[in-house]
Structure 1
Amino acid sequence: MKKTLMTAAVLGTISGAAHSQSSLSLYGVIDVGIRYNTHQNAAGDSKIGMGNGGPLSGSRWGMIGTEDLGGGNKALFQLESGFTPGTGATQQSTPSGNARLFGRTALVGLSSSTYGDITLGRQYTLVHEMAFLHDVYALSNYVGTLGFQGAGLTGGGRLDNTVRYSSPTFGGFSFKGAYTFGEIAGDAKRFSSPGVAASYDNGPLSVGAAFQIINNIGGLTPATTPYGSTYFGILIPDSTQKVFTVGATYKLGATKLYASYIYSNVYPAGYRNDSFSAAVSYPLTPSLELKLPVYVDLLKHGGQNGTRITGGPLLDYSFSKRTDVYAGVDYTKLTGAWRTLAGTPGFTLPVSGRNSVFEATIGMRHKF
């Protein structure tokens, strides 16, 4: 009898495992660079250091898991924490300065091969996700030129309290929709954010677009404002941000071409950015890759126009699929409204009133 019960228990366990296959992965990236920057204070002095780390990839560690529910359905989750390698400090804190354990991503959801995916939690904005697909540096810290990244929540590219739907792919087309709950009693619109996205992938070509509205960025009470009170580190009044992006990538053998446009309007703060970028990623050898982008950002603010142009080469050498080293230089030129903005006290990317900045970077990245 005892043997029969044990056999039944074992068979039941095997049967349950066959129906409910689960997977759990621990992963991460450690990216550390040493950067030299000109014009970093009012005296115009240069600076060299590690900064926040992660020039090409934000350093992080995370866990991702799935459970097979049968019939082509899965449960899934992802937890991801960002950190600064030079100090070990966590990143992606709240606007009021409180640390987050999983500031990059914290979500749970269901996935269906027939109906698509639905996820809930702290997730990337659809405009950020679409834009980084069409940027040679995936919107990393390396050049940080795109204007829309500086405003409110999109400065971090993620939103709390978000529900997102992702469709299956139909003939190369896929669609996404997301909504962020503002969590304010009696005012469902306040701090909310609706977004939509669509993409088409066919062989070497990938094209996509996204549109998002972010309500109530700015304001003068950062401790109670989910999206902070600043734009590029400068205090702004309570505003609405509308962002649209469209871009494409195309593969020519091992070479990859990138092109992107991002429109951002922060009103009534009065910041409008039209950002354009183009880039090529070209393998010089099987292990050595050249990345060569150019970014042009047109800013309108306070009745003034201005431009920010950034470009420069980067060489990336891969020892393996997990470990690489890189070195690059870039030069930024500012005019008009961009120079005025960059010279304002508190601006997050200081050039201290000058009209240019030169940067040189060397670094190492390891993925696990």
Structure 2
Amino acid sequence: MQTFVKKSLVLAALAAIAPLSFAQASTSSVQLYGIVDVAFRHTNNEGPAADQSKSQMIGGGMSQSRWGINVTEDLGGGMKALVNLENRFTADDGTAVNPYFQQSWVALQSNSFGRITLGRQYNVLFDVVTSTYASFPYSPYMEAYKPEIGMSLGARASNMIKYTAEFGALRGSVQYSFDENNTVSTAGTSVSAGGAVKTAGGYLRYATGPFAAGGGYQRTTLPGGTKLDAWTLGGSYKSGPIYLNAGYGENKRKDAYVLGLAGVVDSGLLAAYWSGSSNGGFVPGAAANPAAPATMANLLNHADKRQMYKLGFGYQITPQMNAGLHYYHARQSGSASGAFNGKANFLVGVVDYAFSKRTDAYAGVDHTRVSGGAGMALDANGARSRTGFTVGLRHRF
């Protein structure tokens, strides 16, 4: 009986410590992180009429508010498993951004072969710009005013597989995302609810010392079959308190317009990429309105090419205070009538004060002016110029 009891105790002890032994061979960590950013913003020439002003609380002045979970598991032999889930929301009213998780991916990473990532994640255009020639050294861009992000074709893609590798100062990445047959027929007999798109592209960057330079390319196929080519090229220099950056981006529609529902959906998606007051806001054309008839005249009136040049300067005034000034110049073309062909100039300046490593306050002023065809405007009210003032508080955890 004593022998039986001893054996039972030994087995129970082994069963108890077995999970602990396995955990030692494979160590995991879970990190909760986030940003809460709320600001006051005042703009002129924004509202139902072009001469009205707008004052509002916004849930993201310098950064979009978010919370997320990072999971890292050490698999041994220099290999790791990674998981990221990230929700974006507007902190002024607590509304979640759709889709609920703006990032949701799982990855394998090795010291020898790089990283393979699967799921919803940033595209290569966004990656190379924000990592290589971001607009500000203390924040990749200003959330309330980000003309450059309108050139990144949505910044993220669902159903994506991405491979990234580094070799010393050189980093490269390639991506492919599946549309999963979530398409619109040319005859207009079906339409996707999610509007999934197919993408393929890559980027290459080189960084050494104070210099960084890179470029990226992405082909996007919209649900109706429309193909868009986008590429970007730029660089930056950071030495002591000084930060300089310059870049170029281009979006170009590569094929003929399609009629019916497919044409309306594709034109609406292109308009969603390019429009929005924080993305510069000037409209791409009449066919951007999904309610507009998908006639060839309306579709051809839609601009099909946009170019943007960006030039920025940053200076760290004190260990706690940073200042940045950025200028963007955009050109839009391809509208058959010329109504939506024109130019846009964007200027933004921001001063950021850090109370600590996690909490900062900021103040920014921005100005936008468009010129060209009769249809060139910042939004439906017909305004051609706008000035905005933003003051906010941000906390990172």
Question: If the length of structure 1 is used for normalisation, what is the TM-score?
Answer: 0.82
**Which residue number in structure 2 is paired with residue 45 of structure 1?**
52
Work out the CA distance in 2 between the residues paired with 1:185 and 1:295. 35
Corresponding residue for residue 169 of structure 2: 172
Structure 2 CA distance for aligned equivalents of residues 301 and 140 of structure 1: 29
Q: Which residue of 2 is the match for residue 255 of structure 1?
A: 242
Is 1:366 aligned with 2:366? no
Contact 1:20 1:68 in 2 (8 A): yes
Q: Tell me which protein shows more helix as a share of its residues.
A: 2
Matched residue type, 2:319: P
Q: Quick one: which amino acid aligns to residue 106 of structure 2?
A: V
Q: Show CA shifts across 1:209-261 (max 9, x none).
A: 110011026x6xxxxxxxxxxxxxxxxxx632111011212111132211111
CA distance in structure 2 between the aligned counterparts of 1:90 and 1:131, rounded to whole angstroms: 26
Unaligned runs of 5+ in 2: 1-5, 185-195, 258-301
* Cα deviation 1:127-147 (Å, max 9, x = unaligned): 122222323252442322237
2:323 to 273, 281, 290: 290
Query: Residue 377 of structure 2 is aligned with which of 335, 342, 345?
Result: 342
Quote the RMSD (CA, aligned, Å).
Answer: 2.3
Aligned equivalents of 2:23, 2:149: Cα separation in 1: 49
Which amino acid in the other structure matches residue 321 of structure 2?
L
Please say which structure displays the higher CA radius of gyration.
2
Q: Deviations over 1:93-147 (max 9, x none)?
A: 2xxxxxx331x10001111110011011101111122222323252442322237
Identity over aligned pairs, percent: 33
Q: CA–CA distance in 2 between the matches of 1:291 and 1:270? A: 32
**Runs of at least 5 residues in structure 1 that lack an aligned partner in the other structure:** 94-99, 220-237, 346-351
| More displaced stretch, 288-297 vs 266-275 | 266-275
| Residues 308 and 330, structure 2, Cα contact 8 Å, conserved in 1 | yes
1:164-187 deviation line (CA, Å, top 9, x unaligned) = 1111x2131121111001101899
2:178 to 159, 177, 181: 181
Q: Give the letter aligned to residue 343 of structure 2.
A: T
Provide the residue aligned with 1:245 in structure 2.
232
Q: Does 1:73 align with 2:79?
A: yes
Seen in structure 2, the aligned counterparts of structure 1 residues 13 and 147 have a Cα distance that, compared at 3 Å, is closer
Local SS of the residue matching 2:375:
helix
Task: Give the deviation of 1:11 after TM superposition.
Answer: 5.2
The offset of 1:155, in angstroms, is: 5.1
The partner residue of 2:110 within 112, 116, 120 is: 112
* 2:360 counterpart residue number: 324
> Match of 2:167, SS?
coil
Among 64, 84, 88, the alignment partner of 1:58 is 64
1:288 maps to amino acid: M
Q: Distance in 2 between matches of 1:16 and 1:22?
A: 11
Alignment of 1:269-280 (within 5 A): 269-280=302-313
Question: What corresponds to 2:92 in structure 1?
Answer: 86
In 2, are the aligned partners of 1:147 and 1:275 still within 8 Å (CA)? no
1:36–1:121 distance in 2 versus 1, CA, 3 Å: same
Helix, strand or coil: the match of 2:147?
A: coil
Q: Helix, strand or coil: the match of 1:127?
A: helix
Any residues of structure 2 matched to 1:101-140 within 5 Å, and which? Answer: 101-102=100-101, 104-133=102-131, 134-137=133-136, 138-140=140-142
**SS of 1:40's equivalent?**
coil
**Cα distance in 1 between the residues matched to 2:204 and 2:238:** 20
Q: How far apart in 1 are the matches of 2:146 and 2:198?
A: 26
Q: Whole-Å Cα distance in 2 between the matches of residues 85 and 341 of structure 1?
A: 32
Amino acid at match of 2:315: Y
**In 1: Cα distance, 2:164 partner to 2:12 partner:** 44
Do the aligned partners of residues 155 and 214 (structure 1) sit closer, same or farther apart at CA in structure 2, a change above 3 Å counting? closer
Q: Which one of 142, 145, 151 corresponds to residue 144 of structure 2?
A: 142
Give the direction of change, closer, same or farther, for the CA distance of 1:358–1:344 in structure 2 (3 Å limit). closer
Q: Which amino acid aligns with 2:346?
A: T
Q: TM-score under structure 2 normalisation?
A: 0.77
- 8 Å contact kept, 1:241–1:266: yes
**Secondary structure class of the residue paired with 1:143:** coil
Q: Tell me, yes or no, if the aligned pair for 2:362 and 2:392 is still in contact at 8 Å.
A: yes
Distance, in Å, in 2 between the alignment partners of 1:308 and 1:141 is 19
